[in-house]
Structure 1
Amino acid sequence: MRVPKASERIADRLRGQIVRGEILPGGMLPTEKRMVEDLGVSRPTLREAFRILESEGLITVLTGARGGPQVRLPDLSVASRHIGLYLQTRGATLADLLEARAEFGAICVRLLAERCTREGLEELTACVREQYRVWEAGVDTGADFARWVSLTGDFHNLIALHCRNKTLEAQSKSLADVLGAHRVVSIQRRADPDAVADTSYIPGVIADYEKLVRLVEAGNAAAAEKHWRAHLYGAAEVVYRNRERDSIISLFD
């Protein structure tokens, strides 16, 4: 077995303190001088430990007279990036990703119908209303269309949040992040990145969202799950109009 390096042991110790809440987000770690003395290690070893934690999104090293390592909450985007890189190196396709999103999403919606609070329903309803507002104002420019797409992402995130299962929420958001990164690269590869694709499907999407909210409000978990799975597979077919289903997931151009 490989013996952990001193920097890894220090990173493990600090990581444990952060995730247990012994050092709160926004708080500063002790000064470098004090930590070198307390831990009995060299500055390069300590800085290597900081780099490990920084790569994990657990600290940010601030510069300046009052700088130093500041604790931050773990960010799902770090995990999403690693998942995306893993999928890309494994040759995962767009169809593979969208299938996973549909199945995860359907499970989240079933739990949503069983557990959603009044506050959750209000947030879902408000999101759909904002989508209608943006659609009615027109999505003729790339910026307007991007705003509408962003709202669909918000709706999916609300589903994940209010299904009240933290593991499913993390998985759903990570998949959404990977899909979003792939979408950005695909747009950049177009001959005209600012061109707006066919948007005739948008009213149908919003109608599906409205129906889902009604099913969730009624507590009809089985119907909500069936409806949302069908919606997500239908949404995948819209995606395939502009991108090949067998295209490899790509986070980098």
Structure 2
Amino acid sequence: MSLGESERVRVPKAAELVAMRLRKSIVEGELTDGDLLPTEAMLTERYGISRPTLREALRILESEALIEVRRGSRAGAVVRPPKGEVAARYAGFLLEYRGATLSDVFTAAASIESQCVSALAANRTEEDLAALREALARETSAGSMEESLAAQNEFHGLVIQRTGNITMVALAEMVRHVIDRATTKALEREGRSERQSEARHKSDQTHRKLIALLEASDADGASELWERHVRETSRYLEKVLDSQAVLDLFD
């Protein structure tokens, strides 16, 4: 199109502009988890908009899971910062639409998490090691299979968080959430079976070996161990779960 030809530019609706401003306040930390947004009267006056326009803006933020709108005696909009599980659910829709399988997710996780582990081994602190030892202790002392699985998922999450690279952590957490749903589904399906018990025991052993490699700052060894561990988990779930469809995990 040459200059001078008509070009239509979409002007954002007032509700979208208000949602954008409130969203910015949330993601930049000006509004924090649990904060109550000002009243409708205050917000309509602040932004010079009508109540229907404000309510449309709040519906936008609610659909993005950035606020929780309460009704009744405790009515109001409560701030909920961005969460990995929300991103993971939407990613699940996209992955399912594109025909991705759980195996695809594990392949990505093996690559991402092994890099996280390698970086952690190279830069780990005594504080990192202490946090992982405490998480491992919670694993080994878990009384039920459900508690054991929750503790092992916590260990994986902690390994990722301790990497320190914000972008890598965000990507890994999103993928990890999908995997956590898969392991939970597997436990629901099998219960306290011999295969489940063996898998939990082997996972505990791997986590113990990882800590030893991190203590030795063995980046290559830690990366290889973790990639193998993630791929073995994938093979185990292929035997247990009826479906390899990602979206089925979010039913």
What interval of TM-score do these two structures reach, taking the shorter chain for normalisation?
A: 0.7 to 0.9
CA spacing shift, 1:89–1:124, aligned 2, 3 Å = same
Which residue of 2 is the match for residue 141 of structure 1?
none
Deviation of 1:97 (Å): 0.9
**Residues 92-133 of structure 1: CA deviation (Å, up to 9, x unaligned):** 111111111111110110011122221221121122222222
Which residue of 1 is the match for residue 139 of structure 2?
131
Separation in 1, partners of 2:51, 2:172:
40
Tell me the secondary structure at the aligned position of residue 208 of structure 1: helix
Indicate whether 1:116 and 2:124 are aligned: yes
Q: Give the alignment's TM-score, normalised by structure 2.
A: 0.85
Which residue of 1 is the match for residue 244 of structure 2?
247
Which residue of 1 is the match for residue 168 of structure 2?
168
Identity over the aligned pairs, expressed in percent?
A: 35
5+ residue gaps, structure 2: 1-8
Which residue of 2 is the match for residue 39 of structure 1?
47
Whether the 8 Å CA contact 2:149–2:200 is kept in 1: the answer is no
**Residues 70-100 of structure 1: CA deviation (Å, up to 9, x unaligned):** 3232222211111111112222111111111
The 5 Å alignment of 1:13-52 reads: 13-52=21-60
Deviation of 1:183 (Å): 4.7
Separation in 2, partners of 1:213, 1:195:
27
Alignment coverage as a number of residue pairs: 241
RMSD: 2.3
Separation in 1, partners of 2:215, 2:209:
10
Tell me the secondary structure at the aligned position of residue 69 of structure 2: strand
**Residues 19-77 of structure 1: CA deviation (Å, up to 9, x unaligned):** 23333433332221122233222211101101111222222223345632232322222
Deviation of 1:221 (Å): 0.9
5+ residue gaps, structure 1: 138-143
CA spacing shift, 1:187–1:90, aligned 2, 3 Å = farther
Which residue of 1 is the match for residue 70 of structure 2?
62
CA spacing shift, 1:19–1:94, aligned 2, 3 Å = closer
Separation in 1, partners of 2:179, 2:193:
19
Q: Give the alignment's TM-score, normalised by structure 1.
A: 0.85
Question: Which of these residues, 200, 205, 226, is aligned with residue 203 of structure 2?
Answer: 205
